[in-house]
Amino acid sequence: MVSVDIFDTFLLRTTLPERVKFGKFGEEKSKLLEATAWGKKNHPRYLHLLRMYAARIAYRNRKLVYGAREATLDEIYDVMFSCLTADLGLAPEDVGALSKQFRDIELELEKEDLNVNQQLKEILASASIHGKKVVAISDMYLSHTDIQALLVAKGVGDIFDHVYVSSEYGFGKASGSLFREVLSQHGLLPCQVTHIGDNWFSDYQVPKEQGIFACHYPRSFSWRVMRKLKTEMSFLFTGRLE
């Protein structure tokens, strides 16, 4: 089996910092709320901060499983809409409709920020042709359905035999538990699996310690420098959120 990390390995993000992307979420969500009939405008900055702090709260409210916490986008939205309901007096049916629209906004902005790693795509296609199973393993709050939708949107929906996402299991790669789960489901020994990913710890060190052949596949030095510079510049314009 060949397993591969998804974000920043198979699907490559641009140098747009995550905090700036969350700012875009806030802008789009603000427009959506402003277009409704609740008569109360929410500043994009408020929704930006609400999205980020809701994620922190959702993660901290989850129990530790094998030393790590994993939350889902639904749980993050539960926190957000608890605040928005108190602020806007939303009815339950309004929450359901808005939650779906919020998710659509996030997935669309994620899709715009991602490009397929063509070199890795060819490697995985070759592995599949030669009889190897090809799976994706990701530590991510998005659901399996969300990630599958992103893969389909990028024209690679059929490249993986299965997609494993930490949010679906409550534990991830960093603890080693998600790797053990994959091995168990497929009845494989660690030495029968090669894992490829960009994170030195969760994609290289952890699987290697378990006996999996791990290949560290980091983003380029220039990409990392540019992303760091853009992140620092964003602090100048919007300040630090913490």
Digit-coded pLDDT (tens) for 149-199: 999 999 999 999 999 999 888 888 988 999 999 999 999 999 999 999 999
Q: Which pLDDT belongs to residue 175?
A: 87
On whether both 97 and 127 belong to a single domain, the answer is: no
Cβ 107 vs Cβ 146: under 8 Å: yes
Tell me the mean pLDDT in the region 54-62. 83
Total number of domains in the chain? 2
Q: Do residues 75 and 122 both lie within one domain?
A: no
Residue 215, pLDDT above cutoff 90? yes
Same domain, 120 and 213: yes
Owner of token pair 């922190």: 56
- The phi and psi torsions of 13 (rounded to 5 degrees) equal -80, 155
pLDDT reported for residue 66: 60
Within this chain, do residues 123 and 7 fall inside the same structural domain, yes or no? yes
Domain boundary pick from 90, 112, 134: 112
At which residue do the structure tokens 């994959």 appear? Answer: 182
pLDDT higher for 46 or 151? 151
At 93 the pLDDT is 77
CB atoms within 10 A of CB 55: 18
**Average pLDDT value for the chain:** 87
Same domain for 161 and 180: yes
Helices (H), 35-117: 44-61, 73-88, 92-112
Rg for the chain, CA atoms, rounded? 19
203 and 120 within one domain: yes
Q: Is the pLDDT of residue 110 over 60?
A: yes
Tell me: do 10 and 22 sit in the same domain: no
Q: Are residues 22 and 10 in the same domain?
A: no
Residue 201 lies in a domain: yes
What is the distance between the alpha carbons of residues 88 and 32, in angstroms, rounded to a whole number?
A: 13
Strand partners, 196: 4, 215
51 with 165, same domain: the answer is no
Phi, psi for 216 (deg, rounded to 5): -80, 125
Residue-number span of the structural domain to which 77 is assigned: 18-112
- Regarding whether 44 and 129 lie in a shared domain, the answer is no
For the cut 90, the answer to whether the pLDDT of residue 17 exceeds it is no
Name which residue leads in pLDDT, 161 or 28: 161
pLDDT in the model for residue 3: 96
